[in-house]
Amino acid sequence: MASPAPWKQLLLTALDSNSHLKHANFIQIATVGFNGKPSNRTVVFRGFSGNSDKFQINTDLRTNKVEDIKHCPFAEVCWYFTETWEQFRINGKIDIIDGLNSSPLKLQQRETAWFESSLKSRSQYLGNAPGFPSIYDETSMKQTNLNPSTGPVDAFCLLVFDPEKVDYLNLKSNNRVVFTVSKPQSEGCKNWISKNINP
């Protein structure tokens, strides 16, 4: 049987210790585009997927990051906690769950993520496509009303990040540990090993 991810408790403790800071849930995620160049942006951590070590990120299906992930599903997350001086650099693979996904379980996961988001957050997916020139006219300036009981709109997309390597650094204790998956396991099962290294 696979051992639980040993880094997850470190992350949960860091989240709890920094929970009074609004930015504690903001993470930077880097992807690689078609041109082979990296692209980095800030997203919001939306919690773990069930009891797993996979975590969720909501995004607009029309963004460049989704196209990057379709091209190359591997990415790196960087998370820095300002109160406790802890950094997590997490490498992994991203699964895109949009409205056309063939898995009923994944579609349910997407719907749950949608309803767990605030109405303000959900309303953002009704706007114009991100990254295009802004057109200010009466139509675009109107307030978009969203029925709170309506399910996910087409533009809403759930990203599920599956960690494969975690580089943890605590600047207060000058401690650095790298956690890696020792070998491929069956679906959902991983054996993690840890190694102390110089900061």
Q: Tens digit of pLDDT for each residue in 67-76?
A: 999 999 999 9
- Check whether 142 has a pLDDT greater than 60: no
pLDDT at res. 131: 78
pLDDT at res. 172: 96
Q: Helices marked H in the chain — which ranges?
A: 6-17, 64-71, 104-116, 119-123, 138-141
Q: What domains lie within the chain, and their CATH numbers?
A: 6-141+150-197 (2.30.110.10)
Alpha-carbon span 46 to 125, nearest angstrom: 16
Contact at 8 Å (CB) between 73 and 87?
Answer: no
For strands 156-170 and 86-97, give the pairing. Answer: antiparallel
- Check whether 140 has a pLDDT greater than 60: no
pLDDT at res. 147: 85
Query: Which of the four pLDDT bands, split at 50, 70 and 90, describes residue 141?
Result: very low
Burial of 187 (0-12, 13-18, 19+ CB in 10 A): exposed
Share above pLDDT 90 across residues of the chain, in percent, rounded to a whole number: 79
